[in-house]
């Protein structure tokens, strides 16, 4: 892949994290939806270089998956809030520590969790795998709490597992307090750490399949429910195969994207757009 084509590709990834306000988990009814395909065409025809200082974000990174080399970075080691990109770690912990075929019953606390939701109610019965799809596709905070309670007994206990995993992966500027990522002063990461975490998570086939799914049908209490991925780059930008959107008032818009073209496989992280 030529440098010119690579620059166009990276620029498109970053621009769409800003344009696609509908990626945010808490979608506002008056936000406009941007036509993804038309904007890709415009960007590709008018851009040949990338100046990270012009990007409308506080921090970002493009990481080469094969070498872990930073190809592009802006404040990539600055600690920031991460919103629902937190759920990359949540899903990783669950996949590595629990039987996904098990069916669980939703607690009052999980059902009452605010923000973006899968729509779970107290007493609902759902499989762990379907909870994971609800976690990563529609960014269900209720699903996040249900998963944490099932795997570790509660949010605090699950956060300990998350932080232990962060230490194992040498994510030196990352700390978790919740499985969902709602704003908290001691819940933070960096673009660099998040890219490393994502690279690790994508090596798991279950995680890879979930985050690359555009539409999925889960089952709650024996009844089907269709859900759609909040990441509108899936199926719209060539080569994109994940990963996670995020939005809170403190974190602003966040997006973690994985994309492969020819022999180049990269992770793009954009935080605080």
Q: Per-domain residue ranges for the chain?
A: 3-271
User: How sure is the predictor about 4, in pLDDT bands with cuts at 50, 70 and 90?
Assistant: very low
79-138 pLDDT, tens per residue?
A: 999 999 999 999 999 999 999 999 999 999 999 999 999 999 999 999 999 999 999 999
| DSSP H or E stretch at residue 266 | strand 264-271
Marked catalytic residue, from 17, 59, 107, 139:
139
Specify the range with the lowest mean pLDDT, choosing from 61-65, 168-172, 220-224: 61-65
Tokens 């990539």 belong to 76
Q: How confident is the model at residue 46 (pLDDT cuts 50, 70, 90)?
A: very low
Nearest to 208 by CA among 97, 102, 117, 132: 132
Q: Please check the confidence at residue 50 and state whether its pLDDT lies above 90.
A: no
Stretch 27-36: mean pLDDT, rounded? 33
pLDDT score of 11 more than 50: no
- pTM of the predicted protein model: 0.86
21 has a pLDDT exceeding 50: no
Q: Which of 17, 59, 81, 87 is catalytic?
A: 87
Q: Does residue 174 sit in helix, strand or coil?
A: coil
Q: Is the peptide bond before 243 cis (omega within 30 degrees of 0)?
A: yes
- Judged against a pLDDT cut of 90, whether residue 182 lies above it is answered with yes
Active-site pick, 59, 84, 107, 159: 84
Q: Can 102 be counted among the known catalytic residues?
A: no
Q: Is 139 a catalytic residue?
A: yes
Q: What is the pLDDT of residue 52?
A: 67
Mean pLDDT of 50-54: 64
Burial class (CB in 10 A: 0-12, 13-18, 19+), 2: exposed
Judge whether 184 counts as a catalytic residue: no
pLDDT at 248 exceeding the cut of 70: yes
User: What's the average model confidence in pLDDT over 182-202?
Assistant: 97
Q: Which of 28-42, 161-175, 204-218 has the lowest mean pLDDT?
A: 28-42
Report the alpha-carbon distance of residue 181 to residue 195 in Å, rounded.
Answer: 16
> Residue 57's pLDDT is what?
77
Question: Rounded CA gap, 59 and 110, in Å?
Answer: 32
Q: What is the pLDDT of residue 48?
A: 45
What mean pLDDT do residues 167-179 have? 98
- What pLDDT, on a 0 to 100 scale, did the predictor assign at position 249? 93
pLDDT of residue 230: 94
Among 3-7, 90-94, 138-142, 167-171, the range scoring the smallest mean pLDDT is: 3-7
pLDDT at 238: 87
Pick the closest to residue 90 from 138, 151, 24, 171 (CA basis).
Answer: 151
pLDDT tier for residue 5 given thresholds of 50, 70 and 90: very low
Per-residue model confidence as pLDDT tens digits over 210-241: 999 999 999 999 999 999 999 988 988 889 99
CATH topology of domain 3-271: Beta-lactamase (3.40.710)
Average pLDDT rounded to a whole number, residues 10-21: 46
């Amino acid at each position: 892949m030529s440098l010119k084509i690579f620059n166009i590709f990276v620029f498109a990834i970053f621009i769409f994290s800003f344009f696609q306000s509908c990626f945010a988990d808490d979608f506002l009814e008056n936000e406009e939806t941007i036509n993804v395909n038309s904007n890709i065409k415009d960007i590709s025809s008018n851009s040949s270089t990338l100046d990270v200082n012009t990007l409308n974000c506080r921090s970002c990174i493009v990481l080469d998956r094969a070498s872990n080399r930073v190809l592009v970075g802006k404040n990539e080691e600055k600690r920031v809030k991460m919103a629902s990109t937190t759920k990359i770690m949540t899903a990783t912990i669950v996949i590595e520590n629990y039987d996904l075929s098990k069916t669980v019953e939703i607690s009052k606390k999980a059902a009452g969790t605010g923000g973006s939701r899968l729509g779970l109610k107290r007493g609902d019965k759902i499989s762990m795998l379907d909870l994971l799809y609800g976690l990563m596709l529609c960014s269900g905070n209720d699903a996040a709490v249900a998963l944490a309670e099932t795997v570790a007994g509660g949010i605090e206990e699950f956060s300990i597992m998350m932080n232990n995993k962060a230490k194992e992966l040498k994510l030196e500027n990352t700390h978790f307090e919740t499985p969902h990522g709602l704003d908290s002063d001691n819940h933070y990461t960096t673009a660099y750490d998040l890219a490393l975490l994502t690279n690790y998570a994508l090596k798991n086939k279950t995680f890879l399949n979930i985050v690359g799914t555009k539409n999925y049908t889960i089952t709650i209490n024996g009844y089907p429910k269709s859900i759609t991925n909040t990441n509108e780059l899936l199926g719209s930008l060539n080569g994109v195969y994940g990963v996670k959107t995020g939005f809170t008032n403190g974190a602003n818009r966040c997006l973690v994207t994985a994309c492969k073209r020819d022999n180049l496989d990269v992770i793009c992280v954009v935080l605080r757009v």
